[in-house]
Amino acid sequence: MALTVTEKLVLSDGKQDLVLPQKEVSGLEFVCLEKWNRQLVKMVTGKALDLRPGKASESGSLKAKVWDEIVEERQKVANQKLQEALEVDNGQAQDAQAARGAKKNKVVRAGSKHMLMLPEVIDIECRQHGLKVLLEGINTQVIWMHFTEDNINWLKNEVGAEEAKPRAKRRSGRKRTRGDSSEDHEDEPPQEERQNEDLCIPGALATAISSCLNLFIVLDLLLKGNRGEQVPPDDLEAAILKHCRGFIDAYGTEAIVPKFHYSLHLPGFARKKPLISCFTHERKHRQIKQLANEIHNPGDWFEKSVFRDVWGEVILQMQADSFSLQPHLLSPKKATVSLQGMLNANFGDRAVGATVSFQAVFRPGQSCERGDLVQLSSGDVVQVWLHCRLEDGHMCTLCSILKPLGQNRFQLDDSTARFIPSVQIQRACYSKKCHEDAQLLVTPA
């Protein structure tokens, strides 16, 4: 993997420099502030952090009231944002709930699991000073703050103007040995904060979820290609790069496997030829690798001997169309003379030798036939009349577009009959006749 060079802001007091974890969100630079970061404590307070018993008075500390106030304000604003996101706008449902005498909805405390519902950046006010902070790190003592000199100096002045909060006392659970005093041992940083200090990235769960969602986008694009839809190689390349970078942010470079490098070549392959997805059983894969490892210097003859059998079996299986991901006809027949004339008028020479059918599979396991209502990728609802496959392999569907009337009602209109690419069919629809003539109540399946 190629090396990258990034720019980071440096925090300096004239004597020493400190580079803290940073990230850019919405065009703004944010810095990660941790209460038990030794270098940060030394730079802000001028004293080194010392967690040994009896050294609290000589130790620097960011355990100040202003820190707790920032965390509290962040939580307060996040709770308000979450409550607004969860509010139901349907006044009738609220009136019905009040009529039943039901209890009011309990206020939900915002946490890391709600990060997808809330904005990344929130504005808070602490001691009459406005701050922009990230929602990341909520429910912990970690603060992602807008990285500016004004904010850093304000925090430094507020911490220096007040005394550090006394450390909590706790009784030691271990046996006392010779040399231990009878007094209670001073507490170390809270367990929650110590765990967050060990984490490389605060909010690791949200980062992992984001990486997973990026993977789903890549799979959706590949599935569209398998179904015959046009997928721009540039879009595929951008989606794969976004997933790889998100995966590194979530799990680190040590989790990268060789298949990630192979996925980076897929857009280049797609620019030259269409991509074909194939699935190899893991046990067969191991057997092929074992056979390859037994031969020190395999040449062309070895590859031919292995792939002749492999590709021969694949080609035989591809003769059957039962597992095809692309739309295909069921029980296709040659077009009649009158129907062939209509196809020639619409498609010209491409219609020579076309096959037709009243029934076709438009998605794996989903079929439609004459008279069915389906929804297109554009959102239009159409009534299917006929499916045909042209000589060049493209499959088209003759249908009439229904006129939307609102509230899931549609008007039948045979004058809108036209041919559309069958790959545009997305899902089947349920329909029910209305009292009015030629009107249907349609619901997507």
Kindly state whether residues 159 and 207 are assigned to the same domain: no
**Does one domain contain both 148 and 8?**
yes
Average pLDDT score over residue span 222-250: 88
Does residue 432 belong to any structural domain of this protein?
yes
Residue 320 confidence (pLDDT): 53
Structural domain includes residue 232? yes
The tens digit of pLDDT for each residue in 293-302 reads 665 555 666 6
Q: How far apart are CA 287 and CA 293, in angstroms?
A: 10
Assess if residue 224 is contained within a domain.
Answer: yes
The reported pLDDT for the residue numbered 243 is 92
| Residue 6 and residue 144 in one domain | yes
More confident residue, 182 or 157: 157
Residue 182 in domain? no
Question: Do 76 and 146 have their domain in common?
Answer: yes
Domain extent for 214: 203-275
CATH of the domain at 395: 2.30.30
pLDDT at 1 over 80: no
How many domains, in total, are found in the chain?
3
Q: Which of 250, 275, 300 is the last residue of a domain?
A: 275
Give the pLDDT confidence score for residue 237 in this predicted structure. 92
Residues 268 and 333 in one domain: no
Q: Examine the pLDDT at 92 and tell me if it is beyond 50.
A: no
Residue pLDDT, tens place only, 309-354: 778 777 776 655 555 567 888 889 998 888 888 888 888 888 888 9
What are residue 7's phi and psi, to 5 degrees? -100, 135
Residue 35's pLDDT is what? 82
- pLDDT attached to residue 280: 58
pLDDT band at 225 (very low <50, low <70, confident <90, very high): confident
Q: Are residues 253 and 341 in the same domain?
A: no
Asked which of 30-44, 153-167, 251-265, 316-330 is least confident by mean pLDDT, the reply is 316-330
Round the average pLDDT of the chain to a whole number and report it: 79
Question: Has residue 19 been placed in a domain?
Answer: yes
Query: Looking at the structure, do residues 231 and 333 belong to the same domain, yes or no?
Result: no
Please give the share of the chain, as a percent, with pLDDT higher than 90.
17
Instruction: Indicate whether 356 and 211 sit together in one domain.
Output: no
Per-residue pLDDT tens digits for 379-410: 899 999 999 999 888 899 999 999 998 888 89
Does 418 share its domain with 367? yes
Specify if 105 maps to a domain: no
Q: CA 229: distance to chain centroid?
A: 22
Same domain, 58 and 146: yes
Q: Is the pLDDT of residue 197 over 90?
A: no
The pLDDT score that the predictor gives to residue 381 is 92
**Least confident piece of the model among 173-187, 256-270, 361-375, 412-426:** 173-187
Highest mean pLDDT range out of 41-50, 105-114, 181-190? Answer: 41-50
Residue 178 confidence (pLDDT): 45
Give a yes or no: residue 198 inside a domain.
no
- Comparison of pLDDT for 315 and 423, the residue scoring more: 423
Considering the domain architecture, whether residues 231 and 349 belong to the same structural domain is answered as no
Residue 62: per-residue pLDDT: 83
Q: Are both 117 and 241 inside the same structural domain?
A: no
User: Is 186 buried (19+), middle (13-18) or exposed (0-12) by CB count in 10 A?
Assistant: middle
Task: Report the C-alpha gap between 236 and 240 in whole angstroms.
Answer: 6
Residue 189 in any domain: the answer is: no
